[in-house]
Chains A and B, each alone.
Chain A
Amino acid sequence: DQQVKQNSPSLSVQEGRISILNCDYTNSMFDYFLWYKKYPAEGPTFLISISSIKDKNEDGRFTVFLNKSAKHLSLHIVPSQPGDSAVYFCAASLAGGTSYGKLTFGQGTILTVHP
């Protein structure tokens, strides 16, 4: 049962343009969402997060949008840079004591930014 889905295995964009990575979830109890970036041979690195009580969070070139009614979130990277080329994971967390330390991850999207 894939509760967090990233339906696009890969995305290719030109340097300077916008990258939009999408994520859907099925569990309406998720209350916190995170994006991680992963380079080969390294562990995932935290990028940005959003609480379910918000619909947008911005940090520099990265913005995450949350649409609770559609159970959908997206990560926008503007402008995209070649160094952004990596695998991007969407992750979700449940509130409270039943979910300590547990993130539920999507399958990841490989982003390639061409110079």
Chain B
Amino acid sequence: KAGVTQTPRYLIKTRGQQVTLSCSPISGHRSVSWYQQTPGQGLQFLFEYFSETQRNKGNFPGRFSGRQFSNSRSEMNVSTLELGDSALYLCASSLDGDAFNQPQHFGDGTRLSIL
């Protein structure tokens, strides 16, 4: 069974640019969550999508956005990049987003570096 796939694995951007990251969940999983991992803040929840709808959102500015397609694949977008956006961005999928029913399965992440 294929795992969660994130593309690209590495990305280098400059301040002010925008970036789009992609996540393909495990087949059959309808919930996709995004996290940002930095050395200082650890793993922080960005948002969650289920059936193309954002159901939950963390405390990040509006520059961070996402969407989910009908096949459950998800993208996240960061506009007007700042140096502080340099991080590992992790995508996780599960059947329905309820950890009690099934734990989240993570991809290997996209390492974003801002110059």
Distance in angstroms between the alpha carbons of A12 and B97 in the assembled complex: 34
Q: A34-B103, A95-B100, A103-B104 are in contact. Are A44 and B56 (CB under 8 A)?
A: no
Residues of A contacting B109 with CB < 8 Å?
Answer: 43
How many chain-A residues does the 8 Å CB contact rule pick out? 27
Binds A, one of B11-19, B41-49, B79-87: B41-49
How many chain-B residues does the 8 Å CB contact rule pick out? 32
Closest residue of B by beta carbon distance from A46: B103
Distance in angstroms between the alpha carbons of A101 and B104 in the assembled complex: 8
Q: A100-B31, A101-B97 are in contact. Are A43 and B55 (CB under 8 A)?
A: no
Query: What's the least CB distance linking B106 to chain A, in Å?
Result: 3
B26 interface hit (Cβ, 8 Å): no
Residues of B contacting A108 with CB < 8 Å?
Answer: 42
Closest residue of B by beta carbon distance from A38: B106
Smallest CB-CB A-B distances: 9 pairs = A101-B48, A43-B106, A101-B97, A93-B99, A100-B97, A105-B43, A101-B33, A46-B103, A100-B55
